[in-house]
Chain A
Amino acid sequence: MRFIFKTDYNQDIRLFKHGGAVFWYALLIVALIAAPLVLDRYLMSQATFVFIYAIAGIGLMLLSGYTGQISLGHAAFFAVGSYTEAILLEKGFPFLLSLPISGLLAGAVGVVIGLPALRLAGIYLAIATLAFAFIVEEILARWESVTNGTLGMLVEPINIFGVELFREWHLYYVCLAVLVLVVLGAVNLLRSPTGRAMIAIRDSEIAAQSMGVNLAKYKTIAFAISAAVTGLAGALYAHRLGYISPEAYTILLSVEFLLLIVVGGLGSIHGAVFGAIFVIVLPQIVSILKGYMPSQIAEQTGIDAGIFGLVIVLFMLYEPLGLYGRWVKIKLYFSTFPMYRKATFKRQKSYTKTERLR
C-alpha cells in the first residue's frame, strides 16, 4: 500500500498525486502517440471512435455523473456539433476556427435546453431532453436548405494552415489531442469551486443552496459545458464519418452515451474513458456472439439494443460504480494484498432520510 507523506496543501491540488501516477500516465501518452506505428487502419479508426466517444462521455459525465442532471438528449448536442462543423467547413472556415465554434454553438443550445432543467428534476428532465433530441433530429431531416435533409452532407477534410489532414492517423492525433485537452479541462473544473458546486448540487440541492451555491447558475453552467464538450465530439465525429445524415443521431446514440457513463462509472472521468472503450468494443463482441446464436434469434431486429439494455441492468445490479469502480477495487486488492476486506466499499445505510426537503 502506498502512503503519501503530505507536507503541503498543493499536494492535494496537483493533478498527479505521486510519482507513480506521473510515470503511468506518461507511459500511456507515449503508447498512444506511438500506437499508429503498429495499429492497422481498422484498429486505428476504432481507437479514433473511442476518443470521440470518450470526449462525448466526459461531456455527459459532467452533467449526469457530477451534477446529477439526467440527459437523454445528448445525441442532439452531438448532432449540432457535427452539422455546424460540416456547414462551416463548406463555407470555407478554417478547421481551427470551426471546431471551437461547433463546441460553442452546441454549448449555446445547451443553455437554452438547460433553462427548463432549472424547474425539472429526475425523470421529467430525462423526458424533456428526450423530446429535445427528437426535435433536433426532425429539424435536421426537414431543414433541407441548410442540412440537405435526409440526403446528408459531405464533410470536407481537416485543413490546418493549408495542410490537408485526410489520412486515418491524422484524425487519430487530432482526436487524441482534443481528448487530452478536454480531460485536462474537466479535471481542472472538478478540483475547483465550480466542480465542487456541481457535485454539491448532485448530492443535496438544499444544502448546496444553503451554502451559497446558486442552483440556477451552476445548472446552466453544467448544461453549457456538457453540451459544448459533446458538440466538440460531434464535430470530430463528422470528420470521422466523412458524410453525415440525420439517421446517425437517433435516440439510440443518446442511450449509448448514457450506457457509456453508467457502465464506465458515474462520477469519474476515468469512467467516461473506460465506458467509451466498452461501448466501442461491445458491438464487436455482440457480432461475434451472434455467430453462435441460432439464426432466429440473431436476426431479430433490436437484439443489439436488447443486449445494451441487459448490460446496463447487470451493471446497476452488480457494479453500480461501473468499470472504474471495479478498477479501483482491483487496484486496492493488490495494493493491500493479502489484507483486502470485502466490505471496504460497502455503503453505510442511513435510516434518517425521512422528511427530506425535496
Chain B
Amino acid sequence: MSLFAVEQLGISFGGLRAVDQISFEVEAGEVFTIIGPNGAGKTTTFNLVSRIYDPTDGRITFDGEDITRVPPHRIAGMGIARTFQNIELFDNATVLANLLLGRHAHASTGVVSNMLFLPHVRRAEIAHREKVEEVIDFLDLQAYRETLVSGLPYGVRKVVELGRALASEPKLLLLDEPSSGLNTEETDDMAFWIGDIQKDLGITVLMIEHDMNLVGRVSDRVLALNYGRAIAMGTPDEVQSHPEVVKAYLGG
C-alpha cells in the first residue's frame, strides 16, 4: 500500500475549479514531483494536503488513515511537514528558535509546568535541542544558530525552512518550490539535500518544482498539472516529452 494517496481530489473557489479530480499515489521512499504552468493548481494541492483548505470533494489518505477532515495543526504530528513557496519563517526569532518550533508537534509539556520550568520541561527541551542539532549538522547551519531570520540572506532562509520541516521528523515532506529564488550553486546544494533526505533519512518527498534540471535529477516520478487537471504522469523524461505537457508550457 502506498504511503500517501489522494483520490479524486477537487476544490472550487466560487466558480473556479482550482483543482479538479486529481488522483495520485506516493510510494514510501520516493521523490514525487508536481509540475505545471502558473495557476495550474500545484500550491492549492499542497494547501489541500496540509489541510489549510478544505477540499470540496475527494479523499486524502496518509499512512493508512483518512486525513481529509483532520484539523491542520494535527497534520505535523501525523508526520507531514511542509515548506512554503515564499518562505514562512518566524522572522523575529533566531534560527534555533525556528528549528525548535519545528519540534512543536512533539512538545507534550503543559502551560503551567512551562511557566514554572519544571525539571521535566528542561529535560524535554534538551532532548528537542539534540534533535535540532542533528538537523543543523545535516544542513550545515552551524554558523547561523543565534542569527535572527530577518537578518539572513534569502538562500539561507530557504535552508532554514527546510530544516524546520525536517526537525519535526516527518515521514512525508512537502516542498513547495525548493529552488525558487536560489542561484545555481544553492540549487545544486538543494538537489544534494533532497537526495540525502530521501536516501539517508528515508523521508518520502512530495515537491512542486519549476526547475526541470532539478526535477530530472532528484525525482522518481512526476505529475504534470494544467488548469487543475492531471495531464501526465511518469518518469521525468516521459512527462517532459509528453505532448500535452509540451502544449501546456509552449501553447499551441
Chain A residues within CB distance 8 Å of chain B: 9-10, 12-13, 185, 188-189, 191-197, 199-200, 202-204, 206-215, 221, 225, 267, 347-348, 350, 352-357
Q: How far is the CB of B32 from chain A (nearest CB, A)?
A: 19
Chain B residues within CB distance 8 Å of chain A: 47, 50, 52, 71-77, 81-82, 84-93, 96-97, 100-105, 107, 109, 111, 114-117, 121-122, 124-126, 129-130, 150-154, 164, 168, 181
Contact check, A9 vs B130: say whether CB atoms are below 8 A apart.
yes
Q: CB within 8 A of B84: which of A193, A207, A225? A: A207
Check A352/B181 contact, CB under 8 A, given A188-B116, A199-B92: yes
Contact check, B114 vs A189: say whether CB atoms are below 8 A apart.
yes
Contacts of B111 in A (CB 8 A): 189, 194, 221, 225
8 contacts between A and B (CB under 8 A): A193-B104, A197-B107, A199-B90, A200-B90, A213-B101, A214-B73, A350-B154, A355-B85
Contact check, A215 vs B152: say whether CB atoms are below 8 A apart.
no
CA A347 to CA B100, docked complex, whole Å = 23
Contacts of B72 in A (CB 8 A): 209-210
Contacts of B50 in A (CB 8 A): 210
Check A196/B97 contact, CB under 8 A, given A203-B90, A348-B152: yes
Contact check, A352 vs B114: say whether CB atoms are below 8 A apart.
no
CA A191 to CA B115, docked complex, whole Å = 9
Contacts of B129 in A (CB 8 A): 9, 12-13
CA A354 to CA B100, docked complex, whole Å = 26
CA A9 to CA B71, docked complex, whole Å = 34
CA A221 to CA B72, docked complex, whole Å = 19
Check A355/B86 contact, CB under 8 A, given A192-B109, A212-B168: yes
CA A215 to CA B47, docked complex, whole Å = 17
For chains A and B in complex, what number of residue pairs have CB atoms within 8 angstroms?
136
**Which 8 A/B pairs are nearest by Cβ-Cβ distance?**
A212-B105, A212-B76, A192-B114, A207-B88, A193-B107, A203-B90, A188-B117, A204-B88
Contact check, B86 vs A13: say whether CB atoms are below 8 A apart.
no
Contacts of B88 in A (CB 8 A): 204, 206-207, 210, 356
CA A355 to CA B164, docked complex, whole Å = 21
Check A209/B73 contact, CB under 8 A, given A194-B111, A195-B114: yes
Contact check, A196 vs B52: say whether CB atoms are below 8 A apart.
no
Contacts of B74 in A (CB 8 A): 212
CA A195 to CA B125, docked complex, whole Å = 12
Q: CB within 8 A of A199: which of B93, B102, B122, B181? A: B93
CA A206 to CA B83, docked complex, whole Å = 11
Q: How far is the CB of A337 from chain B (nearest CB, A)?
A: 21
CA A188 to CA B93, docked complex, whole Å = 16
Contact check, A197 vs B76: say whether CB atoms are below 8 A apart.
no
Q: How far is the CB of B1 from chain A (nearest CB, A)?
A: 25
User: Can you name the residue of chain A whose Cβ is closest to the Cβ of B102?
Assistant: A211
CA A194 to CA B104, docked complex, whole Å = 9
CA A212 to CA B115, docked complex, whole Å = 20
Pick the most buried of A10, A194, A202, A206: most chain B CB atoms within 10 A of its CB.
Answer: A194
Check A210/B100 contact, CB under 8 A, given A199-B90, A348-B151: no
Check A199/B89 contact, CB under 8 A, given A209-B73, A212-B74, A348-B150: no
CA A79 to CA B103, docked complex, whole Å = 38
Contact check, A200 vs B52: say whether CB atoms are below 8 A apart.
no
CA A165 to CA B72, docked complex, whole Å = 52
Contact check, A212 vs B109: say whether CB atoms are below 8 A apart.
no
Contact check, B73 vs A353: say whether CB atoms are below 8 A apart.
no
Contact check, B117 vs A200: say whether CB atoms are below 8 A apart.
no
Contact check, B104 vs A210: say whether CB atoms are below 8 A apart.
no
Contacts of A202 in B (CB 8 A): 90, 92
Check A185/B104 contact, CB under 8 A, given A199-B93, A348-B150, A352-B87: no
CA A207 to CA B81, docked complex, whole Å = 10
User: Can you name the residue of chain B whose Cβ is closest to the Cβ of A214?
Assistant: B73
CA A189 to CA B76, docked complex, whole Å = 23
Contacts of A348 in B (CB 8 A): 150-153
